[in-house]
Structure 1
Amino acid sequence: MAERRKRRFRFIGFAAVFALLAAPSVPAVAVQQERAVPVTVPALSNWTPERGSYDFGAGTRLVADSRSEREVAETLADDLKAAGHGTVPVVRGGAARSGDIVIEVRPGKGSLGAEGYELQAGERLSVTGATETGAFYGTRTLLQLLAQGDHIPAGRTVDVPRYKERGVGVCACYVHISLPWLENLVREMAYHKLNQLLLELKVKSAAHPEANTWGYYTQDEMRRLVALGDKYHVEIIPEINSPGHMDPWIENRPDLQLTDSDGNKQPARLDVTQQAAFDYYTSLMDEYAQVFTATSWHMGADEYMLGSDYSKYPQMLRYAQEKYGANATPQDAYIDFINRVQAYAASKGKKLRIWNDGLTGANTVPVAAGTTVEHWLNVTEKPSQLIAQGYPLMNAAYSLYLVRGGFHSDTESLYDQSWDPRSFEGEKLTSSDGITGAKISLWPDNGRGETENEVTADTEPALRHLAQATWGDPHPDATYAQFTAQGTAVGHAPGWRDLTRVPVTDGTYTFRTAGATSASATTSASFDAEVQRTPDGYATLRTADGCLEIQGGKLTLNVPLQPGVSATPQPCDAANTMQRWELAPAAGGYRLVNAITQMALSVADDGRLVQYPPDQHQPATWYLTAH
């Protein structure tokens, strides 16, 4: 978070090329176009052109034999349909015929690695990977080419990523982020060959119901997202940040909060000297294991002493010295907690990941071997030192951050500098050895600073740049404008939903409920409001008394996140994101969902309009009558 984390055409007209090639004489420019590398993001590592083209059409079939090949083919068939290419059958074996797409998984092709693929286009098109994942990425390239037309120039590529981890980090940890938005992100990531989504979030806990304040997801919601990630080869790694930033979990557990020398409780800091605190945290890990299939666990471990220092917590030094001897430092208690979590994660078959800023060198106890360090902040322990010590290192540089209402990555500048994952905060390495990859990170520090749709617009160029910089040449085009044109050419992933559509036209309506279930009664409500679409794809609701806004209650990241907070008319302000609403179709009417809190309006017993998460109160369904 900004306080926490100081922490974009080249379009080949294929049809025109083929028409020119069919002419009696072929101008030199046409030959040059024919031999140009097809447009993809990330760009193909290489391309060997051949004469002719592959033509996708009504007779195209997907040929796949083995189980893993059919998995890839079935997903491709779904995506072809979603992209408007019709229903393409998946068939087994036999000789491939002209127009077919052949999916092959050949483990013997070791040179392709775990994620590389070979694509060959001619009378038919084949995609081959040594693994299912590699073949899947080949189909992403195919989809991008088909997004530009049904004719693909004949040729061959062998395309292998430079880095293993290519990711996006999202803090859905305080301000709720909608599932449709996250589902769009997973599809876009896969389309651009990104493979890792870090989600710092809260899943509703059965073991600790006192922690279920808003900001959580149900287990079923997360299972749905994880299943999508599994289908699209995006590993979704969960994070519960600890031992700092634990306030979403322990605000109602003062017994687990770190207490300073003046007796003041610290609701964001877990008391790592207590066995009960470790047991509490690992019980949450166990609940997450029921949902997430990732082989890694992220515990954050950042900024534990933000705005303070260890001297205010003498129990930390006592704990460390009792366990590690007289030369131990207070920070050893913090490292001890990390290592205990690492051991617990390892016992469950998972590898640990942490942020780097707590590794200041003021400890005598080292972080457990094998722990992946995600480097975002320039502190005493430099990237080169961490690599020399044997820690897998991921580049999560602050320069790649996008913060709501705050710092935004300067993607154009990064592109012009040929930024790649060797460029860390505070140090640029000459070798990629030991570097697992890189990711962009999205933090909601000023939760009302931008809406989800605005975040999408900001994120698209950064996501494509990160995909390019981690897969291949970080500067494939002469100018940033040329690079961004590639993104325009390939468009969005199949199945991506446009979340900026408002389902009613601007105008004045009566909003009326037939009855809305509250805690103990059935209540109806109605009001008149002028609906006006906002530039980011929401709507304002202007009543006679002002624009409807969620206001009141405790603010978290400048957002009223408490369930039960009222929506009331306030002076209209076009810049006020709390006055923006999604009209979500439901049962012949609409639910009114606040663009920032992502809670829907219910009607209280006294007639007030109040926000609640849907699993706490049945949202009201509003029926609109135009004036």
Structure 2
Amino acid sequence: MDLIPVPQVAVPDGDGRRLVLGPGPVLDTGPGTEGVARWLRRELGSATGWSLPPAAAGARADVRLRIDPDRAGELGPESYGITVGADGVELTGASPAGLFWGAQTLRQLLGPDAYRKAPLPGRTWSLPYVDIADGPRFGWRGLMLDVARHFLPKDAVLRYVDLLAAHKLNVLHLHLTDDQGWRVEIKRYPRLTEVGAWRSRSRWGHRASPLWNETPHGGFYTQDDLREIVAYAAERHVRVVPEIDVPGHSQAAIAAYPELGNTDVVDTAALEVWDDWGINENVLAPTEAVLRFYEGVFEELLEVFPAEVSPFVHVGGDECPKAQWKASGVAQARIAELGVGGEDGLQSWFIRHFDGWLAERGRRLIGWDEILEGGLAPGAAVSSWRGYAGGIAAAEAGHDVVMCPEQQVYLDHRQTDGEDEPMPIGYVRTLEDVYRFEPVPPKLSEEAAAHVLGAQANVWTEVMEDQSRVDYQVFPRLAAFAEVVWSRLPLPEERDHADFEARMTAHYRRLDALGVDYRPPGGPLPWQRRPGVLGRPIEGAPPNV
């Protein structure tokens, strides 16, 4: 049946029988299924021409939707079951989310043309007789999308919500601020977007490249844009996690409000939004005024991202150079006043402040694994990006962890070591490499392993200038990642990659119907290459390290 992610149990009819659905199938909706019914009528209706009207009283519907919480005992609260037989389709979820994931499987069973926006002439629709029971391995199945380095318009973000949902992924982590751009409207601080959302030019390629794109770049989401994204995602059972970076990766904010920077050592008034890539020395000043400023930012952010759909708030916390704090009399006085022992302690003080501030408002802080340095409050969670070590340390200390090690699931990294890869970055990570990613390190104790919420793939966009480039880097590898975090696969060395690749043959046709500009199995097409633009291959690294 070529399903991706592969379901836990799928028992096809031994005789190869199929249920043929006529031009006017009817739908029976049980209590709590209204959201999935709307989605089916809109998405399948577009592709098939069906209106899926409700069944007449007493009549047997072709497709029947049910919620049965008792199913959760088998495969968890996001589980579902599908039965296709002579009397139609029975789709049951342990929850509305489980039912929605079942509807995604139903769409796959209908074939690639079920992903189109309008019906094609002469198409008939049928489903194989089958019994499916399925549910996810992890509750956090995510993608981090960096919209700070290169902005993606709102409609492109909504499109990615749909692409995540089609792969049964349920977290979209939006990296909203960085040195190169501030992408969220904050009404009390309008210069964050008036100034901070725009840069005059961009490096073309890695920072070693001598080339520049001289076209100004920028954009931002209004608060209503983000409310729309959150609501759109919630209807598809995708949570949106916003990220506001502190205390590093902050030059765009300092360019907008120079008083946020270390003014006693840097002429912050002369700073502009950064046009280059890498780790920037301009970090936030460790003052009470800066804390109050960012509390104001987070107050507005929490209104846009309500707790019921976005319980986590990401604060970054990574890659904070300390040179300015070492040189700053204000920072050194602050270190003495707080008794934190040095610049590393000052960074921890920043994070712990917002950890407590968010906890008081019923939210959970999550940050990159550098936030472990100096200790964390019990409710804080960690995104483990510098390999597995940070995640292991956090889990053993009782903190929840999202595994996203750059060596395995940074999708901005190149897909082969061939010369045609556009702006090659980092390690080679092939489709098979991603398929063999294991989110739970074998070193973890059983108790610590329970703190692994799941995993996410990260997409940093320094060398991805538009939606097409993002598609190329993300797909088809996101399909492999989705199967890893959804399905209960064997150990990495025992996984059947040949079977996965065979199922991808059909999945490429689904991606074609969705208009995804993925990397073809045979390598980049001519217009996907970037000849002569330098990337950053890691020197001396073997192809699959």
Q: What TM bracket, shorter-length normalisation?
A: 0.7 to 0.9
Residue 249 (structure 1) shift: 1.7
Query: Is structure 2 residue 78 aligned with structure 1 residue 103?
Result: no
Equivalent residue letter for 2:103: T
Q: 1:535 to 1:430 in 2, by over 3 A?
A: farther
Choose which of 300, 305, 308 in structure 2 pairs with 1:287. 300
Distance 1:296 1:220 in 2: 20
AA aligned to 1:55 is V
Match of 1:472 among 487, 492, 496: 487
Among candidates 398, 406, 419, match of residue 390 of structure 1 = 398
In the other structure, the counterpart of 2:136 is 161
- 1:53 corresponds to which of 7, 18, 29: 18
Counterpart for residue 336 of structure 1: 349
Of residues 430, 433, 446 in structure 2, which corresponds to 1:414? Answer: 433
Are 1:477 and 1:483, in contact at CA under 8 Å, matched by a contact in 2?
A: no
Partner Cα separation in structure 2 for residue 71 and residue 91 of structure 1? 17
Equivalent position amino acid for 2:437 in 1: W
Distance, in Å, in 2 between the alignment partners of 1:115 and 1:333 is: 41
Separation in 2, partners of 1:221, 1:240:
17
Distance 1:444 1:382, change over 3 A: closer
Q: Could you tell me how far apart the structure 1 residues matched to 2:290 and 2:105 are? A: 47
1:64/1:73 contact within 8 Å kept: yes
Per-residue deviation at 1:378?
4.2
1:411–1:205 Cα change, 3 Å: same
Which structure is larger by alpha-carbon Rg, 1 or 2?
A: 1
Pair 1:332–1:275, CA change in 2 (3 A): same
Structure 1 unmatched runs, 5+:
1-37, 501-533, 538-572, 578-627
The amino acid across from 1:65 in the alignment is G
- 1:351 and 1:371 in contact (8 A); partners too: yes
Match of 2:187 in 1: 206
Equivalent residue letter for 2:7 = L
Opposite residue 398 of structure 1, the aligned amino acid is E
Structure 1 partner of 2:450: 433
Corresponding position: 1:191 with 2:200: no
Shift of the 158–479 alpha-carbon distance from structure 1 to 2, 3 Å rule, reads closer
Q: 1:419–1:174: structure 2 CA closer, same or farther, 3 Å change rule?
A: closer
Residues 303 and 358 of structure 1 are in contact (CA less than 8 Å); yes or no, is this contact kept in structure 2?
no
2:156 touches 2:467 (CA, 8 Å); kept in 1?
Answer: yes
CA deviations 1:8-43 (Å, max 9, x no partner) are xxxxxxxxxxxxxxxxxxxxxxxxxxxxxx221101
Aligned match of 1:353 in 345, 349, 366? Answer: 366
CA offsets 1:284-312 (integer angstroms, 9 cap, x no match): 11222332232211111111127x48644
Deviation at 1:368, TM superposition (A): 1.2
Higher helix share: 2
Q: Which residue of 2 aligns with 1:34?
A: none
CA contact (8 A) 2:262 2:324 kept: no
SS in structure 2 at match of 1:258: coil
Per-residue deviation, 1:331:
2.2
Query: Partner amino acid for 1:125?
Result: V
Q: Distance in 2 between matches of 1:486 and 1:160?
A: 22
Alignment equivalent of 1:73, drawn from 24, 30, 37: 37
Q: In structure 2, give the amino acid aligned to 1:422.
A: V
**Alpha-carbon distance in structure 2 between the residues aligned to 1:310 and 1:270:** 9
Superposition deviation, residue 317 in structure 1: 5.4
What SS is found at the alignment partner of 2:65?
strand
Q: 1:91 & 1:231 partners in 2: Cα distance?
A: 24
Aligned positions, number: 453
Which structure's relative contact order is higher, taking Cα pairs within 8 Å and 6+ residues apart?
Answer: 2
Q: CA deviation at 1:314?
A: 5.9
The corresponding residue for 1:238 is 242
Higher strand fraction (1 or 2): 1
Distance 1:477 1:486 in 2: 15
Q: Contact (CA 8 Å) 1:402, 1:409: kept in 2 or not?
A: no
Distance in 2 (alpha carbons) for counterparts of 1:246 and 1:92: 60
The equivalent residue for 1:300 is: 316
Q: Taking structure 1 as reference, are residues 102 and 164 closer, same or farther at Cα in structure 2, changes over 3 Å only?
A: same
5+ residue gaps, structure 2: 113-123, 177-182, 199-217, 272-279, 413-421, 490-494, 519-525, 535-545
Residue 137 of structure 1 is matched in structure 2 by 101
- C-alpha distance in structure 2 between counterparts of 1:74 and 1:371, whole Å: 36
Judge which range, 280-289 or 295-304, deviates more.
Answer: 280-289
Partner of 1:462: 477
Shift of 1:315: 4.6
Give the aligned residue type for 2:185: K
- Percent of pairs identical after alignment? 24
Contact persistence 2:12–2:129 (CA under 8 A): yes
Q: How far apart are 1:265 and its partner, in Å?
A: 5.0
Q: Give the Cα separation in 1 of the matches to 2:350 and 2:312.
A: 17
Matches within 5 A, 1:359-370: 359-360=372-373, 363=374, 366-370=375-379
Q: Distance in 2 between matches of 1:43 and 1:480?
A: 9
CA distance, structure 2, for counterparts of residue 174 and residue 415 of structure 1: 24
Task: Please report how far the alpha carbon of residue 482 of structure 1 lies from its aligned counterpart in structure 2 after TM superposition.
Answer: 2.1
User: For the residues of structure 1 that align with 2:191 and 2:222, how far apart are their CA atoms?
Assistant: 15
